[in-house]
């Protein structure tokens, strides 16, 4: 997944002449993905909710608290999940 994300970001850079440091991390998770990542990877499904893509996702040991909590989630052609959360101060967190 690291390679997939790096290649997507590199393709965006090549097409737009900017560096990683210039990516707008103040965007929402969805907007960031559609600007910088989605056009450069093969997505087979965008999930309206986590349950719409993955009904039995992992629970913590107590079996009550969900481990995965993302603002934006996709399923890639290889079957992997790629999610993104935005946080304070322009930080983004990918979930794989």
Domain assignments of the chain as residue spans, ordered by start: 2-95
Nearest Cα neighbor of 70 from 53, 62, 60, 61 is 53
User: What is the C-alpha radius of gyration for the chain, rounded to an integer number of angstroms?
Assistant: 14
DSSP E strands: which ranges in the chain? 43-47, 72-76, 81-86, 92-95
Pairing of strands 92-95, 81-86: antiparallel
- Other beta carbons within 10 Å of 47: 16
Rounded to whole angstroms, how far apart are CA atoms 47 and 18?
A: 29
pLDDT at 54 over 80: no
pLDDT of residue 87: 75
Q: pLDDT of 64-89, one tens digit each?
A: 555 556 788 899 999 888 989 877 77
Q: pLDDT of 9-45, one tens digit each?
A: 999 999 999 988 899 998 888 999 999 999 999 999 9
């Amino acid at each position: 997944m690291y390679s997939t994300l790096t290649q997507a970001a590199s393709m965006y850079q090549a097409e737009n002449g900017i560096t990683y440091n210039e990516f707008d991390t103040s965007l929402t998770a969805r907007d960031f993905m559609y600007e910088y990542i989605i056009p450069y990877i093969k997505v087979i499904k965008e999930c309206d909710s986590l349950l719409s893509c993955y009904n039995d996702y992992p629970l913590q040991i107590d079996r009550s608290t969900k481990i995965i909590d993302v603002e934006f989630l996709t399923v890639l052609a290889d079957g992997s999940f790629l999610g993104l959360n935005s946080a304070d101060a322009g930080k983004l967190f990918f979930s794989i």
